[in-house]
Amino acid sequence: MPILSLLIFLPIVASLVLAFTPERFVPYFKWFTLIVTGVELLLCVYLYFLFDKQVSDYQFLEQYDWITLPLGNLGIGSIDYLLGVDGISLPMVLLTGIVMFIGAISSFEIKDKSRGYYSLYLLLTGSIVGCFIALDMFLFYLFFEFMLLPMYFLIGLWGGPRREYASIKFFLYTLVGSIFILIVMIGLYLSVIDPVETAVQMGLINSASDVTPQIITQIQSLLAEGELPSQSIVHTFDLRFMPDQGNYMLDSWLNIFSGNKISGISLRSLSFIFLMVGFGIKLPVVPFHTWLPDAHVEAPTPVSVVLAGILLKIGGYGFLRICYPIFPEVANQYAVWIVGFGVLSIIYGAFNALAMNDLKKMIAYSSVSHMGFVLLGIGSLTSEGFNGAVYQMFSHGILSAMLFLLVGVLYSRTHDRRIDSYQGLASQMPLFTLMTAIAFFASLGLPAFSGFIGEIFTLMGGFNSSLIPRWLAGLATFGLVLGAGYFLWTLQRIFFGKFWIRQYEETLQDLTLREKIMLYPLAILALVFGIFPHLIFDVTNLSLAELIKLF
């Protein structure tokens, strides 16, 4: 069964079904969306249990010729429909299934223009999954760009008073980042060949299934000696071939030995910087973060859940899937700068969160801070750092979704997100208080919760790295203190003391059944993955160990 294609096209086809369903069925759209995302979640869990944790290579591969274009003397252009998962992508696919299902339950509060909303929500689901499992860079870019459309409309049509500003800002920031990625993608395409398809074109083998390591070595030797017939060369976007310098054409833009430079900067270094900016905007890294608070404040609760829970992770995933495997020597060279920006994001995001009076903005800036730990782990170029970065992304996806749902619970009752508008909620809403305390303590890194595992391993990676000064990793630990500060201070101001907001006494009721169904599983997952981190580490370890070998 082509399970990966099913993960992509099930929500996309469902989106089209909703778009053309008669008006009388509109009240059932939310249930239809819930069923589709529920099936999607079951497929993600099934994929997790089918995944062979003793194999570091890509699994569940699906590959079909999509576009083949003769380029004359330049050879042949090839774009494949190529899907697969490994230890880096599988946790993100599982996270997508969890968050999109929870987001679908949260979407029950959407009453206006529900046909458009649920169609766009399902379209977004398919696009996100496609990003995490595409192994052809053109296909990855297609899904990466395609996510812009539903997110732009979900914020712009169902958001708050300044939704047009927030949606345009989100769109423009991400689009600029996409252009940087596009430039590098074209450079890689012109530089890299597909040794398997090239062997087929030269008649050395009849089909790709006949390839052997000896054939690949033969093609790479001919390429290095400049003896490959130009009309037989097949250019590719295949991410599996791009890390191998044996697949780069002589004197191509991005051949590591070509020495091509612009204003004294090598093209490989420039390409790495472009990718870091492109994916850094998505993560987001300070100073490319300013779109995030605006988007979160104006977005409806389910869209904030998806934005913080999954979309930010595509930036971190892009670093590990594209930047670092393809440009390892540049990543090594700029390790201090990368970690520096990570630590800057940790500290700057935490200080801003400490200063916020708007709950949504506080959590948005806490996301900036937590994503800084991801960059710290990745920049350390250590096994602990890489594994910690993936774990931090997965953990933050669970916890940030929970945090924004909790804000949504409060806002749905009072339409007020200001922290200083509340006091003594513990006596009025005990279950809500318990869930908030769990989310806050898990996010600030309390042991036994998933947030602790992600942060401690990224810090271990920073201290264990031979490339970055210890004081820089030490400075990152200050972010833990600040995180405890803004979470505990918020908890103290909102929940402790005497309840005095009499005008809200009737509306501030405790959690409903629907809210419990959303929040309880996330709290349990935060605890389970905190106590049993091997559930993720067993998946990520081998794939990340192969990545470490490149440095």
Q: How far apart are CA 139 and CA 65, in angstroms?
A: 12
Concatenate the DSSP letters of all residues of 495-507 into one string. HSS----GGGTTT
- Rg of the chain over CA atoms, in angstroms? 24
Residue closest to 414 by CA, chosen among 502, 350, 488, 334: 502
Q: Tell me the pLDDT tens digit for each residue of 159-212.
A: 989 999 999 999 999 999 999 999 999 999 999 999 999 999 988 898 888 889
pLDDT at residue 503 is higher than 80: no
Residue closest to 483 by CA, chosen among 444, 429, 518, 520: 444
Q: How far apart are CA 245 and CA 192, in angstroms?
A: 9
Whole-number average pLDDT of the chain: 94
Banded pLDDT at 504 (limits 50, 70, 90): low
Model confidence, pTM: 0.96
What pLDDT, on a 0 to 100 scale, did the predictor assign at position 372? 97
Residue closest to 236 by CA, chosen among 111, 77, 114: 77
Residue closest to 319 by CA, chosen among 309, 307, 334: 334
Q: Is 26 exposed, middle or buried (0-12, 13-18, 19+ CB in 10 A)?
A: middle
Residue closest to 307 by CA, chosen among 182, 207, 173, 474: 173
Cβ atoms of residues 526 and 402 within 8 Å: yes
Q: Tell me the pLDDT tens digit for each residue of 391-411.
A: 999 999 999 999 999 999 999
C-alpha of 230 from chain center: 38
Cβ atoms of residues 59 and 51 within 8 Å: yes
126-141 mean pLDDT: 97
- Pairing verdict, β 76-85 and 59-70: antiparallel
| Phi, psi at 131, each rounded to 5° | -60, -40
527-545 mean pLDDT: 96
Q: Tell me the pLDDT tens digit for each residue of 19-64.
A: 999 989 999 999 999 999 999 999 999 999 999 999 999 999 999 9
Query: By percentage, how much of the chain surpasses pLDDT 90?
Result: 84
Concatenate the DSSP letters of all residues of 289-340 into one string. -THHHHHHHHS-HHHHHHIIIIITHHHHHHIIIIIHHH-HHHHHHTHHHHHH
530-543 mean pLDDT: 96
- Pairing verdict, β 59-70 and 265-266: unpaired
